[in-house]
Chain A
Amino acid sequence: MEQVLTQLKERMTDYQDDFDDIPGTVLFNGERLRQGYQLNKFLSSLVDAESRAAFKSDQAGYLTKFAMTEQQREAVVKRDWSAILNLGGNIFCMTKLAIVDGTPFQHVNAIMAGMSHKQYEDMMNSGGRHMDGIRSKRGG
């Protein structure tokens, strides 16, 4: 039994280490869910028309309904997309905020990738980001 438990624990640790080896990628695991639960609850609430109207008419007031951290609240107010992501935001929840703002999601992608909109659009139109050097932190 102990051996089985040790093996299972090793497998779960290896699994996480493997994912952590992928550069420029934030995987939405349990830790991020716990960190970002209230933040994502706010973002997800925007799929409801009445909630959208309430948010648009009083953004600061609407945000107080969700028990997120001050840092998370500030990232939302500033539309600091990378900070929202790094503070536990789920990318699909984040799309709702971009839609409400009328911001094309490709602009959000460009910001997160540290590129101008034009650079990002040109990259996509020429076949997307090349795979060279973006597979693994260990192996390049």
Chain B
Amino acid sequence: MARIVGGLCTSHVPLLGRVIDSGRTGEPYWQPIFEGYEPTREWLKSVNPDVLIVIYNDHANGFNFKYTPTFAIGCANEFNPADEGNGPRPVPIVQGHSRLAWHMTESLVHDQFDMTIMNEMDVDHGLTVPLSLVCGQPAAWPFRVIPICVNVIQYPQPSAQRCYALGKAIRRAVESFDEDLNVVIAGTGGMSHQIHGARSGLINQTFDNYFLDKLVTSPEELAGIPLVEYVREVGAEGMEIIMWLTMRGALDDRVDVMHRFYHVPAMNTAVGNLVLENAKAQ
């Protein structure tokens, strides 16, 4: 049986990818951020998962507005890094797990989540920057990846509650797979930022830290917050942190915090990283 052995959440700031790719992680402005991820990298190495399920959103790179799936699952054997206007990132091709992804699709659709099935899809910084943050620069990613892309850029968007419920359905899907696999699930995006209009540059450390607290202790409270309040508090682009709730939904109600990191700013964005495991003492 496959099992979910842990969850992590992280921002997916595109500039962090460019800093890694150009070897500038040691610069004084950036160094504290990458140092903050060090315990996560160590944790991931020790857990050594077979598969990482990544909940992320595309930013008009892999998809354009020709079609906008609310929830899409990558069922292919591999996914190329997307060209986002300056050529694809120089990172390894993402290897999928087609058989598990198809099993998950079957399970999710029977479980009332009508996924869009992606057989060819480029993955943008929403997915590849988290991989770089938690793995560094390996010649090949050390696990297979199942991308799950959530529409958080075109309204109407799924609610926080729906994202949380998706996590619970993902857990049922993984645990009903017959192969013996260790799976980690990652929620990406956030934290507070807005990069358009007169509110550009907002950062809300109070809400971000409240979110980090409650994600551990009472995710249902966060799932009950309407999208409009997320947009108000963490910005129109920061509201993507609802994808962290999908990660949280796939874990037990009680969890242990393995690592927590928060930093302001990475250019326009508050950066957050949380690593969770199901609580040893339930």
Contact = CB atoms under 8 A, between A and B. Distances in A.
Interface residues of B, number: 41
A53 B86 CA distance: 11
Given A90-B153, A99-B86, A128 B270 contact: yes
Given A49-B83, A106-B267, A128-B264, A112 B154 contact: no
A40 interface: yes
A40 B66 CA distance: 10
A64 to B, nearest CB: 20
A123 B267 CA distance: 10
A29 B206 CA distance: 28
A27 B155 contact: yes
A68 interface: no
A46 to B, nearest CB: 5
Nearest to B204: A131
Interface of B is mostly: loop
B270 A26 contact: no
Interface residues of A, number: 52
* Most A Cβ at <10 Å: residue of B83, B156, B197: B197
Contacts of B236: 22, 25-27
A68 to B, nearest CB: 13
A29 B155 contact: yes
B231 interface: yes
B59 A134 contact: no
A91 B65 contact: no
A61 interface: no
Interface in A1-26: 15, 18-19, 22-26
A19 B229 CA distance: 9
Contacts of B82: 47
Given A47-B84, A127-B205, A128-B264, A92 B199 contact: no
Interface string B79-97: 0001111110000000000
B268 interface: yes
Given A33-B65, A40-B60, A85-B197, A25 B267 contact: no
Nearest to B83: A47
A90 B236 CA distance: 12
Contacts of B84: 47, 95-96, 99
Interface of B: 59-61, 64-65, 82-87, 153-156, 192, 194-206, 226, 228, 231-233, 236-237, 264-265, 267-268, 270
A-B CB proximity, top 5 nearest:
A128-B203, A24-B198, A99-B85, A24-B199, A96-B85
Interface of A: 15, 18-19, 22-30, 33, 37, 40-41, 43-44, 46-49, 52, 85, 90-97, 99-100, 105-106, 109-110, 112-114, 120, 123-125, 127-129, 131, 134-136
11 contacts: A28-B153, A44-B65, A47-B60, A85-B197, A92-B153, A94-B196, A96-B84, A106-B267, A128-B202, A131-B202, A131-B204
